[in-house]
Amino acid sequence: MKQIFLDEQTLETGLDAASVPTPDTPVAIVAETPDQLTARHGFELQKSYDDLGPLVLAVMESASGMRFTLEHHDHDPLGGTTVAFFQGDLSAGRLREVLAELAVAPEQVVWRYFDHVDSGTSLGQRITAGVLALAAFLGIKAATRDRASSG
Span 61-113, pLDDT tens digits? 999 999 999 999 998 877 899 999 999 999 999 999 999 999 999 899 998 88
Q: Where in the sequence is the domain holding 79, given as residue range(s)? A: 2-141
Are 6 and 113 within 8 A, CB to CB? no
What is the 3-state composition of the chain as percent helix, strand, coil, each rounded to the nearest 5? 35, 25, 40
Which pTM does this prediction carry? 0.77
Judge whether 26 lies within some domain.
yes
Judge whether 134 lies within some domain.
yes
Q: Give the pLDDT confidence score for residue 29 in this predicted structure.
A: 93
- Number of structural domains, the chain? 1
pLDDT tens, residue by residue, 42-65? 999 999 998 889 999 999 999 999
Are 33 and 72 within 8 A, CB to CB? yes
Judge whether 96 lies within some domain.
yes
